[in-house]
């Protein structure tokens, strides 16, 4: 018996079987993260055949020319055609390569292939184990959906009979960030709609949409606190219990006091997925189990949250072989810790937790550096889906707007914005525009994390190896951005690119955004990068200045302008930043291609090696996805190539804060319901 579904594929690949292997892979099995890593460890590189011109450039320069010299890795070319016909590949490849084909139907012969195909490839592990354990006979579409819901997503529809059952299922699912295919969600909602007790629940919104679900809970938490206060003998007047203004329809009184729900609520409030509320009865409520969701003593709250999050993250540092999504989740929680540590007025919290923070930071740095070395290269060619890397973002946006004449999308690239600074910006935006909703995720920036490499990859929509002529500048970003959309049949007049935003008059930007021809706008806001490069007060000073800028009307007004003109808004960053101590300046002078503070770039391996001998704790980064002659030397962890006495905020290296950056969809919600509870004769809500 096979140990897993990957073995069906990996048995076909052993080192030196063939220089060139051609694979018909209509189900994108070879591009699954675990398979990609296993294949690379065996000495192969994997490259999808998509754009013939791009493919030919990489194939000729990166593989065939090296093979002629007896060097270079073996290559696997994948064709994601609906058929298994490899004949559409170039003639010289077709006759030179070994040919293989892989399909889901061969791995899951008794399950409905259209249903299985909708799963994220990471979920195939659990499905394969369930298939081996329970050995189902041939299953129909609906029977396959039931099987997958039960054994992959731990959801047994027949066990959901009342609101508390559904609340438990959805909290567990959305807290774990499970991504359930639309086909399965539609099937589950169809079953749930048959339950009378759930008739008024907004299932179409909260089952599939994580952000909508937690917004649904957040809106109803004040009503629950009012009910709990009334039960404790406080708030026995109508004024203490509403009215409540809701953006999501549905029941107001939710069973938060269910014991299984309470277990998750502690974690949700700790990680600020849900936010504590002010309440007139806070002094009493804080002593109940619901106290975690009540604001009372800001200093004590920060101290307890900081200690609690650090304790949680100790056991959550991903190992060297973790999936990329594990690091994205960890980075989000680490950003919360970072904000609290540097927040003004929390000196007591910092003093109590600082030693544990530094220990956790060191563990994280070591684990992330090891993970990048082993797994980073596998991110570049992952199949379509939520974008794992910055250069995937434009393709993701292109799928959203499709071919329709009305779709409009704006990509805001906030140069230098880290995840922790995004949290600060988000809070400032909500203060000015409470109706904004943020669908938050994260992506990996390009290494080295400098603007000319990473930001340019966003606007090019491709890996840096494919724009070698402009790798040292951002001057070609407008051309690359328009070229990307021209390949998707958008006229130049429909594509806008604007940089240098963040302060000053917006009238000229308004003219561009208001142009009815413009369907795609790429906007660069560089104020955070400017703050960073002038920062002398460390990360606490950085946070303070970002908070001050975000509290001004500029960004809020820009978002309002875009929303008013019908744009779907996505915000990201090209790299983050880190607080670093000087370790000395290399003495290579003008021989370096780029003399950054966290990274030096060279086009001569001997020169990089000589500088490395001066700084043996530095990292000689492999040119993954970069032009072959762009050789990076990354400064030691949380150090910079400046004088030993200097303490700066900078970027270019390989820390979590520099590499993992926000990707946020920004929407504006409308009020759909205002609810005031009926009050009985004794003053308590009915």
DSSP string, 109-172: TTS-HHHHHTS-GGGHHHHHHHHHHH------HHHHHHHHHHHTS---GGG--SHHHHHHHHHH
Region 504-519: mean pLDDT is 90
Q: What is the pLDDT of residues 281-324, one digit of tens each?
A: 888 888 888 888 998 888 777 888 888 889 989 999 999 889 99
Measured between alpha carbons, how far is residue 12 from residues 18, 81, 98, 159, 455 in Å?
11, 20, 11, 42, 38
| 453/54: higher pLDDT | 453
φ and ψ at 281, to 5 degrees?
A: -100, 25
Q: Return the top range by mean pLDDT from 34-38, 134-138, 325-329.
A: 325-329
Model confidence at 71, in pLDDT bands (50, 70, 90)? Answer: confident
- Using alpha carbons, select from 458, 464, 465 the residue that is nearest to residue 484: 458
- Residue 28 is predicted with a pLDDT of 86
Q: Which residues contact 474 (CB under 8 A, 6 or more apart)?
A: 451, 452, 455, 456, 499
Structure confidence at residue 194 (pLDDT): 94
Name residues whose C-beta falls within 8 Å of residue 337's C-beta, 6 or more positions apart in sequence: 306, 309, 310, 313, 357
What pLDDT score does 634 carry? Answer: 96
Q: How far is it, in rounded angstroms, from Cα 629 to Cα 604?
A: 7
Instruction: Identify the pLDDT of residue 173.
Output: 94
- Asked if 594 and 472 touch (Cβ cutoff 8 Å), the reply is yes
Rounded distance between C-alpha atoms, residue 362 and residue 246, angstroms: 43
Q: What is the DSSP letter of 386?
A: S
Alpha-carbon torsion angle 94, 95, 100, 103, nearest 10: 30
Residue 495 phi, psi dihedral angles, 5° rounding: -120, 125
Cα→Cα distances 532→131, 342, 343, 544, Å: 53, 15, 17, 11
* Model pLDDT, residue 165: 94
Q: What's the rounded Cα separation, in Å, for the pair 221 and 207?
A: 19
Give burial (CB, 10 Å; 0-12/13-18/19+) of 568: middle
Segment 333-382, tens digit of pLDDT: 999 999 988 875 444 445 557 888 999 999 999 999 999 998 999 899 88
Compute the distance between CA of residue 669 and CA of residue 563 in angstroms, rounded to an integer: 11
Distance, in Å, from the CA atom of 245 to the CA atom of 218, rounded to the nearest integer, reads 12
- The rounded percent of the chain whose pLDDT value lies above 90 is 58
Q: How confident is the model at residue 685 (pLDDT cuts 50, 70, 90)?
A: very low
- pLDDT tens digits, one per residue of 629-667: 899 999 999 999 999 999 999 999 999 999 999 999 999
Preceding peptide of 262 cis, ω within 30°: no
What stretches of 484-598 adopt beta strand conformation (E)?
Answer: 495-501, 520-525, 568-572, 578-582, 594-595
Q: What is the pLDDT of residue 84?
A: 65
The pTM is what?
0.89
pLDDT of residue 349: 45
Task: Say which range, 1-10, 61-70, 393-402, 554-563, has the weakest mean pLDDT.
Answer: 1-10
Q: Which of 240, 179, 192, 246 is nearest to 219 (CA)?
A: 246
515: pLDDT confidence band, cut at 50, 70 and 90?
A: very high
- Pairwise pLDDT comparison (61 vs 387), residue with the higher score: 387
pLDDT for 599: 95
Residues 246-266: tens digit of each pLDDT = 888 899 999 998 888 998 898
Please determine, for residue 583, whether its predicted confidence score (pLDDT) is greater than 80: yes
- Whole-angstrom distance, CA of residue 633 vs CA of residue 583: 14
Report the distance separating Cα 95 and Cα 108, nearest Å. 31
What pLDDT is stored for residue 54 in this prediction? Answer: 81
Residue 237, pLDDT > 50, answer no
Compute the average pLDDT of residues 17-29.
87
Burial class (CB in 10 A: 0-12, 13-18, 19+), 505: exposed
DSSP state of 423: H
Q: Tokens 């650090």, residue?
A: 310
Residues 499-510 have pLDDT tens digits of 999 988 788 899
| Cα–Cα distance for residue pair 154/392, rounded to 1 Å | 31
Q: What is the pLDDT of residue 326?
A: 94
CA distance 381 to 63: 17
Task: Round to whole Å and give the CA distance between 109 and 489.
Answer: 39
Radius of gyration of the chain (CA): 27
Range of 219-233, 502-516, 608-622, 668-682 with top mean pLDDT: 608-622
- pLDDT at residue 346 in the model: 46
469: closest CA among 450, 485, 456, 488?
Answer: 456
Instruction: Using alpha carbons only, give the angle 51, 53, 55 rounded to the nearest 5 degrees.
Output: 65
Instruction: Report the range of poorest mean pLDDT among 69-73, 191-195, 367-371, 374-378.
Output: 69-73
Please give the DSSP secondary-structure letter assigned to residue 446: P
Largest CA distance in the chain: 91
User: Can you tell me the distance from the alpha carbon of 648 to that of 580, in angstroms, rounded to the nearest whole number?
Assistant: 5
Q: List the strands of the sheet with 599-602, edge to edge.
A: 594-595, 599-602, 631-634, 619-621
Question: Is 90 exceeded by the pLDDT of residue 392?
Answer: yes
SS3 353: helix
The predicted pLDDT at position 678 comes to 42
Tell me 635's DSSP state: P
Mind giving me the DSSP string for 218-248? HHHHHHHHHHHHHHTT---SGGGS--EEESS
Q: What is the pLDDT of residues 111-157, one digit of tens each?
A: 999 999 999 888 998 999 999 888 888 999 999 999 999 999 999 99
Give the lowest-confidence range in 99-108, 117-126, 190-199, 400-409. 400-409
pLDDT at 626 over 70: yes
What is the number of residues in the chain?
686
More confident residue, 534 or 15: 534
Strands 568-572 and 409-414: parallel
Which residues pair with residue 639 across a beta bridge?
A: 581
């Amino acid at each position: 018996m096979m140990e897993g579904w990957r073995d069906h594929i990996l048995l076909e690949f052993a080192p030196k079987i063939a220089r060139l292997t051609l694979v018909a892979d209509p189900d994108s099995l070879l591009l699954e993260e675990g398979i990609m890593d296993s294949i690379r460890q065996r000495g192969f590189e994997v490259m999808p055949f998509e754009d013939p011109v791009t493919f030919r450039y990489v194939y000729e320069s990166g593989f065939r020319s090296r093979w002629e010299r007896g060097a270079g890795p073996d290559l696997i070319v994948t064709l994601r055609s609906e058929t298994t016909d490899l004949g559409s590949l170039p003639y010289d490849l077709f006759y030179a390569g070994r040919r293989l084909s892989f399909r889901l139907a061969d791995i899951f012969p008794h399950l409905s292939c259209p249903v299985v195909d909708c799963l994220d490839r990471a979920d195939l592990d659990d499905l394969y184990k369930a298939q081996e354990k329970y050995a189902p006979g041939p299953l129909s579409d609906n029977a396959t959906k039931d099987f997958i819901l039960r054994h992959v997503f731990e959801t047994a529809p027949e066990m959901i009979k009342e609101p508390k059952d559904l609340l438990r299922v959805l909290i567990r699912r959305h807290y774990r960030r499970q991504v359930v295919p639309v086909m399965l969600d539609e099937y589950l909602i169809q079953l749930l709609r048959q339950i009378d007790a759930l008739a008024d629940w907004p299932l179409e919104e909260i089952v599939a949409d994580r952000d909508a679900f937690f917004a649904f809970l957040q809106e109803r938490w004040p009503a629950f606190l009012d009910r709990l206060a009334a039960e404790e003998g406080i708030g026995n007047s109508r004024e203490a219990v509403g009215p409540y203004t809701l953006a999501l329809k549905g029941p107001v009184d939710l069973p938060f006091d269910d014991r299984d729900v309470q277990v998750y609520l502690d974690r949700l409030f700790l990680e600020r997925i849900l936010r504590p509320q002010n309440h007139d009865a806070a002094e009493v409520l804080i002593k109940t189990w619901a106290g975690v969701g009540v604001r009372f003593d800001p200093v004590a709250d920060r101290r307890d949250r900081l200690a609690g999050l650090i304790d949680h993250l100790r056991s959550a540092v991903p190992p060297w072989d973790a999936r990329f999504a594990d690091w994205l989740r960890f980075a989000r929680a680490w950003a919360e810790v970072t904000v609290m540590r540097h927040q003004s007025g929390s000196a007591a919290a910092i003093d109590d937790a600082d030693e544990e923070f530094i220990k956790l930071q060191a563990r994280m740095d070591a684990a992330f550096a090891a993970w990048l070395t082993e797994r980073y290269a596998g991110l570049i060619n992952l199949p379509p889906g939520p974008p794992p890397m910055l250069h995937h973002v434009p393709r993701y946006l292109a799928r959203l707007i499709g071919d329709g004449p009305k779709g409009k999308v704006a990509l805001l690239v906030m140069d230098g914005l880290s995840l922790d600074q995004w949290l600060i910006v988000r809070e400032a935006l909500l203060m000015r525009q409470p109706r904004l909703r943020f669908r938050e995720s994260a992506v990996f920036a390009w290494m080295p994390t400098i603007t000319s490499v990473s930001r340019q990859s966003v606007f090019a929509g491709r890996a840096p190896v494919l724009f070698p002529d402009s790798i040292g500048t951002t001057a070609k970003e407008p051309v690359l951005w328009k070229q990307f959309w021209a390949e998707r049949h958008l006229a130049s007049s429909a594509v806008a690119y604007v940089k240098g935003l963040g302060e000053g008059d917006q009238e000229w930007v308004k003219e561009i955004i208001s142009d009815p021809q413009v369907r795609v706008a790429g906007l660069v806001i560089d104020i955070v990068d400017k703050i960073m490069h002038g920062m002398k007060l460390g990360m606490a000073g950085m946070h303070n200045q970002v908070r001050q800028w975000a509290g001004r009307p500029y960004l809020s007004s820009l978002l309002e302008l875009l929303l008013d003109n019908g744009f779907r808004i996505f915000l990201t960053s090209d790299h983050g930043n880190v607080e670093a101590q000087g370790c000395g300046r290399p003495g290579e002078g003008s021989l370096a291609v780029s003399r950054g503070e966290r990274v030096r770039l060279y086009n001569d391996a001997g020169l990089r090696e000589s500088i490395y001998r001066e700084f043996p704790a530095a990292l000689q980064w492999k040119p993954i996805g970069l032009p072959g002659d762009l050789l990076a030397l990354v400064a030691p962890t949380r150090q910079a190539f400046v004088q030993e006495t200097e303490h700066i905020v900078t970027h270019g290296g390989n820390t979590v804060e520099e590499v993992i950056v926000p990707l946020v969809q920004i929407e504006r919600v409308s009020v759909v319901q205002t609810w005031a509870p009926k009050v009985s004769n004794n003053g308590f809500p009915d």
